[in-house]
Structure 1
Amino acid sequence: MKPRASAKSVGIREVALRAGVSTASISRALNKPDSVSADLRARIHSAITDLGYIPDAAARALSSRRSHTIGAIIPTVDNAMFARGIEALQSYLSLQGYLLLLSTSGYDPETEARLAQNMVSRGIDGLILRGDVHTDALRKLLATQRIPFINVGVYHPDKPYASVGTNNEAAAWRACRYLIELGHRRIGMVAAISAQNDRATARIAGVHRALAESGLSMPPQWFIEVPYRLDDAREAARQLLAAPDKPTAVVCGNDVIAYGVMMEAERHGLHVPQDLSVMGFDDLEWSRHLRPSLTTMHVPTDEIWTRAGQYLVKSLAGEPATLHYEVDVSLVVRDSTARTRAV
């Protein structure tokens, strides 16, 4: 039996010879599949499979002026919501024949701008960014290079560039409003750090609006900003719960922060929700398995990131794409909240 040619030794001419077509037909089939017949595509695909041919991505990019690579810059991978979103995005892009290039900015707009510049220099076709806190340099880069981009996690229909996400202010308002409906008047908040984070800022604003509409206010000592980390959340809860004047309910910037608050409440001998109601945000997988399970705001992360990918793929194909899309956030009532016992 004749040994099978290795992938490194096989070129487009060998594929053309095996398929009985020209090299130009091979190029069209790879770069513009719809431009050749289904029978021809099948014959070429059979030859590629049989020979183990791997198309030269750089050559294809030069030919089509497309790299079929989408860049995404997220603040951190140390967050289960980002991991879920990126997994959904990568799955969708893979089905569309696109590669995902991922970087993390650490919530620093300057770092984000440098990463974006590096991605553009490597020929990305489009870019996905988290939130809408970007440097002027980055905005200018994307405009001058005509790189389509979309902001995820936010919904800004008043902006001229694309966004897909939730109305964070309205969602946080609903979360706090639910606690007020349960009779709570002493409500605190452990929020994510709002600097360079427009999602966290909006959630803080939503909680304050709900309180103000009910004639309530939050004492400064009941409001703490922390990173999205369990240890920091527990430290914040220690500050809240160590004082004699404690809230009866706490709204948390996300579910991880809520886990820390619940753990520290138990350590202080408090019962959730009898002594302290805890509200999360995001609805992570663990939230329904905790005891007590966590009441939270469900954010459809998979849908958000998949729609971001769809927007870019459609835009790059010259197809109509929805510029702004708001995904619904829903209140998920579980066991960590209850009517207040306070009079």
Structure 2
Amino acid sequence: MAKSKKTTTEDADAGKKPRSSGVTLRDVARFAGVSSATVSRVMNNPEVVSDELRSRIMVAIEHLGWVPHAAARALATQRTGTIGAVFPTLANEHFATAIQTLQEAFEQVGYTLLLGCSQYDPEREHRQVRTMLERGVDAVVLVGEAHHPDLYTLLAQRQVPFVNTFAYREGAQSLCVGIDNHQAFFDFTTYLIGLGHRRFAMLSQTADSNDRARARREGVRDALAEHGLGISAAHMVEGFWGARVGRQLFSQVMDTPQPPTVVICGNGSFAMGAMLEAMQKGYDIPNQFSLVGFDDFELMAELPIPITTVRVPSAQIGAEAARMILAELARKGSARSVKCEAEIIVRASSGPPPKARRVRA
């Protein structure tokens, strides 16, 4: 009687993709018919390998299901292929846009973005950056110049490149990219003075840990001072963040013996909250007073009374930050700070004060 043929595991698996758990770089090199060094070059410096050779190796990697070992790769290249970024909040439309731009730019060259959210807390930001450095990030993206007093020292000790975003200051010692917040609000206030406004209020974000908010506030004060004007303590109010806070601060400045003829909001959330409160209370904007803001969130243009604002080029900031980081990783000291331009977007929420309107009539 004929013996039945025994089916081996090797026969059963014939023609199937190998399992990736035991696949090594040498296996990939053997399958592609190249040296292990060539596979390493494709993974670490793909631009130095021909398109044909790179394609052949990528086919081998796909067929074998090989995943490079991050720790081994970092040991060989002294790079982990990760960039850390800590932003104050993810609820800000412009921060989200910058983060998306950063991720796309880094992804194109093989880097992974590791993200942290500090909630405007310097201690928390410091802890998050330290944790990222412990995990071996190659560089760090931050927001603003004001950080925990030990953060700059930590980054210098580790010799890790970093860039401060959403803030630009002439003569800053660290790399930065963004608008000049002081200049933007100085120019914005000067524009409003030119419309005839003399009684100003400002809803400012808490400036203790936010140097951008502090610069905007000082920009308003300096522009007023240049024209012999000032702003009363009752009309300069501040709060943490959010549309609800904006509503509360707006009510506070309007409930004064001499209400302002223009309310400047230091961020987009305050502007939208203030506008919603003003509409609910039946104010006639801009005939009774003007209401202006910052950030230019998408919703600001879609409200029943679109809001005049300062526009921030967040996508450009993200793209420039990524370019600067990559330049520093390629050659330390090669990147330069970048000033982005703020733009005043005039909409229906602003105009001359009531007296100026009557005179013109």
Which of the five TM-score ranges fits, normalised by the shorter chain? over 0.9
SS of the aligned residue for 2:137 comes to: coil
For residues 20 and 246 of structure 2, what CA distance do their matches in structure 1 show? 52
1:77 aligns with 2:90: yes
Q: How far 1:319 sits from its partner (Å)?
A: 7.3
Give the one of 262, 284, 309 matched to 1:271.
Answer: 284
Q: Partner residue of 2:32?
A: 19
SS of the aligned residue for 2:264 comes to: strand
Q: Which amino acid aligns with 2:30?
A: L
For residues 246 and 199 of structure 2, what CA distance do their matches in structure 1 show? 19
1:338 aligns with 2:351: yes
8 Å contact kept, 1:163–1:325: yes
Q: Partner residue of 1:181?
A: 194
User: Residue 321 and residue 333 in structure 1: after superposition, are their counterparts in 2 closer, same or farther (change >3 A)?
Assistant: farther
For residues 67-105 of structure 1, the C-alpha deviation after alignment (integer angstroms, 9 at most, x for no partner) is: 111101111222222111111111111112110011112
Q: Partner residue of 1:301?
A: 314
Q: Partner residue of 1:101?
A: 114
Instruction: Mark the structure with the bigger radius of gyration.
Output: 2
Q: How far 1:45 sits from its partner (Å)?
A: 1.3
Give the one of 342, 348, 358 matched to 1:329.
Answer: 342
Q: Partner residue of 1:151?
A: 164
For residues 285 and 241 of structure 2, what CA distance do their matches in structure 1 show? 21
Give the one of 37, 59, 63 matched to 1:46.
Answer: 59
8 Å contact kept, 2:200–2:260: yes
Q: Partner residue of 1:217?
A: 230
Q: Partner residue of 2:4?
A: none
For residues 320 and 148 of structure 1, what CA distance do their matches in structure 2 show? 9
For residues 131 and 253 of structure 2, what CA distance do their matches in structure 1 show? 43
Q: How far 1:177 sits from its partner (Å)?
A: 1.5
Q: How far 1:301 sits from its partner (Å)?
A: 0.6
SS of the aligned residue for 1:21 comes to: coil
Q: Which amino acid aligns with 1:115?
A: Q
Q: Superposed, which structure 2 residues align to 1:271-290 within 5 Å?
A: 271-290=284-303
- Counting matched residue pairs gives 343
Q: How far 1:291 sits from its partner (Å)?
A: 1.6
8 Å contact kept, 2:165–2:176: yes
1:164 aligns with 2:156: no
8 Å contact kept, 1:84–1:301: yes
User: Structure 1 stretch 234-243 or stretch 120-129: which is displaced more?
Assistant: 234-243
Q: Which amino acid aligns with 2:143?
A: R
Q: How far 1:320 sits from its partner (Å)?
A: 6.8
Q: How far 1:63 sits from its partner (Å)?
A: 0.9
Q: Partner residue of 1:128?
A: 141
1:317 aligns with 2:337: no
8 Å contact kept, 1:161–1:323: no
Q: How far 1:217 sits from its partner (Å)?
A: 1.1
Q: Which amino acid aligns with 2:120?
A: Y
Q: How far 1:26 sits from its partner (Å)?
A: 1.1
SS of the aligned residue for 1:8 comes to: helix
Q: Partner residue of 1:60?
A: 73
SS of the aligned residue for 1:337 comes to: coil
**Structure 1 residue ranges, 4+ long, deviating more than 4 angstroms after superposition:** none
For residues 134 and 269 of structure 1, what CA distance do their matches in structure 2 show? 42
Q: Which amino acid aligns with 2:110?
A: G
User: Residue 34 and residue 91 in structure 1: after superposition, are their counterparts in 2 closer, same or farther (change >3 A)?
Assistant: closer
Give the one of 5, 8, 17 matched to 1:4.
Answer: 17
Give the one of 203, 206, 218 matched to 1:193.
Answer: 206
User: Structure 1 stretch 152-161 or stretch 91-100: which is displaced more?
Assistant: 152-161
Q: How far 1:39 sits from its partner (Å)?
A: 2.6
Give the one of 76, 81, 101 matched to 1:88.
Answer: 101
Q: Which amino acid aligns with 1:92?
A: A
SS of the aligned residue for 1:136 comes to: coil
User: Structure 1 stretch 121-130 or stretch 53-62: which is displaced more?
Assistant: 53-62
SS of the aligned residue for 1:127 comes to: strand
TM-score (norm 1): 0.96
User: Structure 1 stretch 278-287 or stretch 311-320: which is displaced more?
Assistant: 311-320
User: Residue 319 and residue 44 in structure 1: after superposition, are their counterparts in 2 closer, same or farther (change >3 A)?
Assistant: farther
**Structure 1 unmatched runs, 5+:** none
Give the one of 104, 111, 115 matched to 2:128.
Answer: 115
8 Å contact kept, 2:23–2:66: yes
8 Å contact kept, 2:144–2:212: yes
